[in-house]
Each structure stands twice: as structure tokens, then as C-alpha cells.
Amino acid sequence: MSRRPVFRHPNLPKNDLGYTRRDYEGLDSTLCAGCGHDSISNAIIRACFELSLPPHRVAKLSGIGCSSKTPAYFLGKSHGFNSVHGRMPSIATGANMANRDLIYIGVSGDGDTASIGMGQFIHAARRNINMTYIVMNNGCYGLTKGQDSATADRGSASRKGLPNPFEAIDLCESAVQLGAGFVARGFSGDKAQLVPLIKAAIRHKGFSLVDVISPCVTFNNTPSSTKSYHWVRDHMEATATFDFIPMRPEITTEYEEGDDQSVAMHDGGLIHLHKSDNSFEVTSRRAAIDALEHYREKGQILTGILHVNEALKDTHEIMETTKVPLNSLTAKELCPGNDTLQGIMAGYR
């Protein structure tokens, strides 16, 4: 597999940590030219660069499928884990339990999440694992050449032209129902919206879902597919325009009051939503579900931030684990010692 050139232009812009955008890149993609997933990888790169994340403090995990290949294409200085089909959430859960101090980005596909991995997906959401879960959703199985997935809309045609007879699973609606604290939907063809979505998701403490419609140019970019570029562009409705403002006191004091809605993130960052007629209270689960259902009935795809709740406890807080990463504890802190053991022995005599 080819690697990108080592050469760096000396004047590349640097972020607060002194890293350039190149420091967040990975290997060259081997996905099909025009694949929506590559756009999402680039959005992740840009989001991490703009957030000034230390690349090596990110752990990137995935399952199996075209989408799950993408962690190789971003954050080359991070540890990656390409696990097995649909099991990424449990691997990420264990990794998070071992070291709560890293930033976890899970990448999955619609087959990987909504079928074989549905069980693990919903339980990661309900446990509120502190991770960003990005679904690259193209409504089909790419690696096995175009079969319908569980997110393909009923009636939409697959590559072979047959209409899908079954209802689609809406991952965003499921996540909201399960109590996920951050739920958003983006479109790989709308980077202006997608990058701040990913940035806000990463900064959210707890489980954050970013479901990204990402057309499969080879098997599912037909006019009759509801996951094609042109269909999504023609039927996309955004909740509201918004900014994500990272924690910078001099900036967070500048936002304007009025009709806009602002949500403070746990680290002091701010999601600043500029309301429009179609906006709703993003902190309300019911409003999010109503809005999703409303646009579904209209045959439209609602994108943007759908729900945010920064007050939820993440898994570590719920379980009251120590604030020190468990993988860093020493034998002295873990082993109760022989005297204690002999006390225990006495109880079994």
C-alpha cells in the first residue's frame, strides 16, 4: 500500500499543538473513486486538526466493511483496530474501560451497525460509552457487491433494480430512544455541515452518533436509490445551521442571544444553533423523534444536530470507576496482599 510523500511544505498552517493537517492523515485510500467514505475520512481529519487533538491520543476502531477500512486513511499516528463484523462497539467499550483518558472514534457501516452489529450498537449507546460512533451509511453492502442493508429505505431499488420490501432502520431515531446524549446526521457531500458535526460529537462526553449518508458510487448511486448523491441533495433538510465553538473563553463570551439556541459542552465548548423555521429544541428527545418522523413522512432526510444532552453520565461515571486509567494501575494498587488473603482464608475455615 502506498504511503503519502514525507515532504511537508514549511508554510502549512499549524494548529494549537503545532501539527499540520498532514499529521492527521493516514494512508492513501483504496476505496472506489468518488466514494462518500473518503469525504468522511477527510472530514474527520479536518475536525481533529481543527480541534487540535494530539493524534496519538486518539484510538480509532472499526468493524468490517468498506467503511471499516477507513481508519487506515486518517490519523496515521494513532493506534487503530479493525475488528470483526459488527463487534467494534464491544472492543471500543473494553478499550475505553482500560483507559478513559484517550479519545475514541469508532467507524462503522450500515451493514456493520444496523444488522450484524445492531445489538452491540444499541448497548454501547445505552451504556453511554464515551466515544464518537460514525456510521458511513450507504444503504448497501459494498464489499459483497451491492446487497440491500437494513438502512435501505423501503421501496428504494438496489443495484439490480429490485425494490427493497422491508422497512429501514433509522439509526438516529434508535439512538435517541436509547438515551444517547449526542445524535446527528450528516451527508458526505456536505462537508460544511459535517466537519462541525464531527467536532461537536468528539467533544461530547458520552456516546455520540454521527450517522452520515455516504453514497456508494459503485453499487448504490442509481436514480432510484435513496442513498444516492442526487437523491440526498434533492431531499435533504437541515435542522438549523450551527457553529461548534471549542472551549476558548474569549470566543464563547461572544455568542449572541436571541432566537438562537446554544448548548454548552462538558469541556466548556459551545454548540451555537442558528434557528430557522424548521428548528426544534435539540435537548428534547421527543422533539428529535417528532422531527425525524415528520421528515420521514415527507420523504426527506433530516440532517444536522438532532439531539444533545450534556448532563448524562458516561459509563465510567455510572460505574464509579477510578479516575486513573485502569491500565496504568500498579500491582500495589491492584493486589490486596497476603495478609488480606489470609484474612479471607480464615473465613473459609
Partner 1 sequence: MNKLTSVNDFVVRFANINGSGSASANNLFAKAVFRLGVPVSPKNIFPSNIQGLPTWYEVRINEQGFLGRRGGYDFVVAVNGQTLKQDYDHLRPGGYFFYDDTRSLPEEFNRRDITVIPMPLTGLANREIENPKLRSLLKNIIYVGALAALFDMDFSVFTDSITKQFSKKPKLAAPNIKALELGYNYASTHFDGICGLCVARSDKLTDHILMDGNTATALGAVYGGATVAGWYPITPSTSVVESFDRLTRRMRLDEEGNRRAAVIQAEDELAALGIAVGAGWNGARAFTATSGPGVSLMNELLGLAYFTEIPVVLVDVQRTGPSTGMPTRTQQSDILSCAYASHGDTKHVLLFPQDPKECFEMGALSFDLAESLQTPVMLVSDLDLGMNDHVCEPFEWDDARSYQRGKVLDEAQLDALDRDWGRYLDSDGDGVCYRTYPGTHPEKGAYFTRGSSHDEYAAYTEDNAAYKRCMERLERKWETAKTMVPEPDISINDEGAGSGMIFYGTTAHAATEAVALLESRGTPLNTMRITSFPFADSVAEFIRCHDRVFVAEQNRDGQMRTLLINELGGRPGISPDKLISIAHMDGTPPDAVSICDAVTQKMKGGAA
Residues that bind partner 1 (CB under 8 A): 1, 54-57, 59, 61, 71-72, 76-84, 87, 89-99, 101-102, 119-120, 123, 127, 315-316, 319-324, 326-329, 331, 333-338, 340-342, 344-345, 348-349
Phi, psi (5° rounding) for residue 82?
-100, 95
Output the smallest distance, CB 18 to partner 1, in A. 11
Which residue, chain included where needed, has cell 457531500? 189
Is the Cβ of residue 162 or residue 334 nearer to partner 1 in the bound state? 334
182, containing H or E segment: strand 182-187
Residue 216 contacts residue 40 (beta carbons within 8 Å):
no
Is the Cβ of residue 120 or residue 239 nearer to partner 1 in the bound state? 120
Strand partners, 245: 270
Output the smallest distance, CB 163 to partner 1, in A. 33
Residue 65 contacts residue 216 (beta carbons within 8 Å):
no
Is the Cβ of residue 80 or residue 142 nearer to partner 1 in the bound state? 80
Is the Cβ of residue 83 or residue 261 nearer to partner 1 in the bound state? 83
Output the smallest distance, CB 21 to partner 1, in A. 16
Output the smallest distance, CB 67 to partner 1, in A. 15
Is the Cβ of residue 58 or residue 236 nearer to partner 1 in the bound state? 58
CA distance 141 to 76: 26
- For 271-298, the DSSP string reads EEEE--TT---TT-HHHHHHHHHHHHHT
| Cβ-based neighbours of 255, under 8 Å, separated by 6 or more | 245, 262, 270, 272
Is the Cβ of residue 101 or residue 259 nearer to partner 1 in the bound state? 101
Q: What are the start-end ranges of the H helices in 56-108?
A: 66-69, 88-98
Other beta carbons within 10 angstroms of residue 229's beta carbon come to: 18
Phi, psi (5° rounding) for residue 177?
-60, -35
Residue 252 contacts residue 268 (beta carbons within 8 Å):
yes
Is the Cβ of residue 264 or residue 319 nearer to partner 1 in the bound state? 319
Other beta carbons within 10 angstroms of residue 296's beta carbon come to: 15
Output the smallest distance, CB 237 to partner 1, in A. 34
Q: Angle 317-321-326 (CA atoms, 0-180°, nearest 5)? A: 130
Output the smallest distance, CB 30 to partner 1, in A. 9
Output the smallest distance, CB 36 to partner 1, in A. 22
Output the smallest distance, CB 130 to partner 1, in A. 13
Is the Cβ of residue 264 or residue 335 nearer to partner 1 in the bound state? 335
